[in-house]
């Protein structure tokens, strides 16, 4: 299959909408990461997402909408608090998990009786949803397990020849996936951290819990509240290690490794800390900046063909929780105290 390269100009957005209506797969920009979209109400189209990504069948997808009125049809029950969340965070990088309606194909919910819904703020994403005339199921547009794509080039690196088209809307602003919040638990629960932080959710909800799988490793036999959390994720081919401690401790540890096979992900301004190649991934106190560059840096390290990636461990404050969550999974929980 030849993958069409589309721009975000109006005629190309219409083409993307037509392809989606026909049941094809189109990668689309969103403010978080690029999504691999299909008509969410077409089970056969959605099944192709799993095939193109090599995604495990039991990992459900997020349904993307452009208007709040679309929630009604997709869900069995809309809790009143959804309006407050929508007022505060939609359109934007918050996904809510609700009881699903019969319209949702099993392929989308992966057999669960819930559905994850998000209204993205990216103008191209919204235009494409409207052009398709249907909600779009879309996981990240990467090969399963690889770092999520934050540019159209990342998408093509993984999926060229496997999908009908990619719409190039430039680099993603947020850089990590949406916050996933379940409204099906007694107390609303963060299943995956993102730009919308637990503190911001607490302001609106008055109560919120963070699932233990956000920073911990699930036991092999544990049932994940969010099935995606049990998989190795966001991982480049090189082995990733998080080094927790001072800049000096980091430098000593990394400099003892073979420089030509190693890359260090450092905070901005620390490029001269070590002998091996470095990739700055944001300022030390700026988790939003770190999130924006993280996946691009992990992919860059792979392009260089290095064996080991050492990362300065970021703080878990605010949006840092999302950055740390992705890094822990990329590193398969290898954290070394230095």
Q: Which of the listed partners (ligand AMP, Mg ion, none) does 97 bind, with a CB threshold of 5 to 8 Å by partner kind? A: ligand AMP
Write out the E strands in 207-338. Answer: 209-210, 239-244, 262-266, 277-280, 308-312, 335-337
The interface with ligand AMP within residues 53-82 (CB under 6 A) comprises 59-62
Helix (H) or strand (E) holding 301: helix 287-303
Site string (151-180) toward ligand AMP, x via CB under 6 A = --------------------------x--x
Nearer to ligand AMP, 114 or 197 (CB): 114
Nearer to ligand AMP, 61 or 82 (CB): 61
Q: Which of the listed partners (ligand AMP, Mg ion, none) does 327 bind, with a CB threshold of 5 to 8 Å by partner kind? A: none
Give the three-class secondary structure for 325: helix
Nearer to ligand AMP, 109 or 197 (CB): 109
Please state the separation of Cα 19 from the chain's center in Å. Answer: 24
Nearest Cα to Cα of residue 323 among 234, 198, 194: 194
Pick the binder of ligand AMP from 15, 42, 226, 262 (CB under 6 A): 226
Nearer to Mg ion, 168 or 177 (CB): 177
Please state the separation of Cα 244 from the chain's center in Å. Answer: 24
Q: Which stretch binds ligand AMP (CB under 6 A): 14-22, 37-45, 109-117, 293-301?
A: 109-117
Give the three-class secondary structure for 238: coil
CA distance 127 to 112: 29
Q: Kindly state the tokens that stand for 135.
A: 């909600």
**Neighbour-count burial for 304-332, b at 16+ CB within 10 Å, e otherwise:** eebebbbbbbbebebbbbbbbbbbbbbbe
- How many residues lie near ligand AMP (CB under 6 A)? 20
Nearer to Mg ion, 138 or 306 (CB): 138
Q: Which stretch binds ligand AMP (CB under 6 A): 152-160, 225-233, 271-279, 309-317?
A: 225-233
Q: In what order do the strands lie in the sheet with 189-192?
A: 4-6, 165-167, 26-28, 35-39, 136-137, 62-64, 114-118, 94-99, 179-182, 189-192, 209-210
Distances (CA, A) of 130 to 64, 94, 97, 139, 257: 11, 19, 22, 18, 52
Nearer to ligand AMP, 226 or 262 (CB): 226
Min dist CB 263 to ligand AMP, Å, is 25
Min dist CB 98 to ligand AMP, Å, is 8
Q: Does 235 bind ligand AMP (CB under 6 A)?
A: no
Min dist CB 139 to Mg ion, Å, is 5
Spatial CB neighbours of 301, under 8 Å, sequence gap ≥ 6:
236, 238, 263, 265, 279, 309
Only one residue has tokens 């969340």, namely: 85
Q: Which of the listed partners (ligand AMP, Mg ion, none) does 62 bind, with a CB threshold of 5 to 8 Å by partner kind? A: ligand AMP
Q: Does 192 bind ligand AMP (CB under 6 A)?
A: yes
Nearer to Mg ion, 70 or 95 (CB): 95
Strands 35-39, 136-137: pairing is antiparallel
Q: Does 197 bind ligand AMP (CB under 6 A)?
A: no
Secondary structure letter of residue 258 according to DSSP: -
Q: Which stretch binds ligand AMP (CB under 6 A): 112-120, 161-169, 262-270, 293-301?
A: 112-120
Q: Which spans of this chain sit near ligand AMP (rule: CB under 6 A)?
A: 59-62, 97, 109, 112, 114-116, 139-140, 177, 180, 191-192, 226-229
């Amino acid at each position: 299959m030849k993958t069409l390269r589309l721009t975000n100009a109006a005629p190309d957005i219409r083409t993307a909408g037509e392809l989606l209506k026909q049941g094809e797969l189109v990668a689309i920009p969103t403010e978080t990461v690029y999504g691999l979209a299909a008509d969410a109400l077409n089970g056969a189209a959605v099944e192709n997402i799993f095939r193109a990504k090599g995604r495990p069948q039991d990992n459900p997808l997020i349904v993307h909408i452009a208007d709040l009125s679309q929630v009604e049809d997709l869900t069995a029950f809309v809790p009143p608090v959804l309006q407050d969340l929508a007022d505060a965070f939609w359109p934007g990088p918050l996904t809510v998990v609700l009881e699903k309606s019969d319209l949702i194909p099993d392929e989308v919910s992966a057999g669960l009786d819930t559905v994850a819904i998000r209204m993205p703020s990216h103008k191209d994403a919204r235009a494409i949803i409207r052009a398709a005339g249907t909600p779009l199921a879309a996981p990240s547009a990467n090969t399963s397990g690889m770092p999520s794509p934050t540019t159209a080039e990342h998408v093509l690196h993984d999926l060229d020849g496997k999908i009908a088209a990619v719409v190039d809307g430039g680099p993603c602003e947020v850089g990590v996936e949406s916050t996933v919040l379940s409204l099906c638990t007694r107390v609303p629960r963060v299943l995956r951290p993102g730009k919308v932080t637990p503190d911001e959710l607490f302001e609106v909800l008055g109560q919120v819990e963070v699932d233990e799988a956000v920073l911990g490793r699930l036991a092999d036999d544990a049932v994940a509240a969010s099935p995606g959390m049990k998989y190795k994720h966001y991982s480049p081919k090189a082995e990733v290690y998080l080094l927790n401690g001072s800049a000096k401790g980091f430098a000593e540890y990394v400099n003892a490794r073979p420089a030509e096979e190693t890359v260090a992900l450092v905070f901005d301004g620390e490029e001269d800390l070590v002998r091996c190649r470095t990739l700055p991934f944001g300022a030390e106190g700026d988790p939003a900046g770190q999130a924006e560059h993280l996946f691009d840096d992990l992919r860059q390290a792979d392009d260089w063909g290095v064996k080991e990636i050492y990362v300065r461990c970021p703080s878990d404050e605010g949006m840092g929780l999302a950055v740390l969550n992705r890094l822990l999974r990329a590193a398969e929980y290898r954290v070394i105290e230095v």
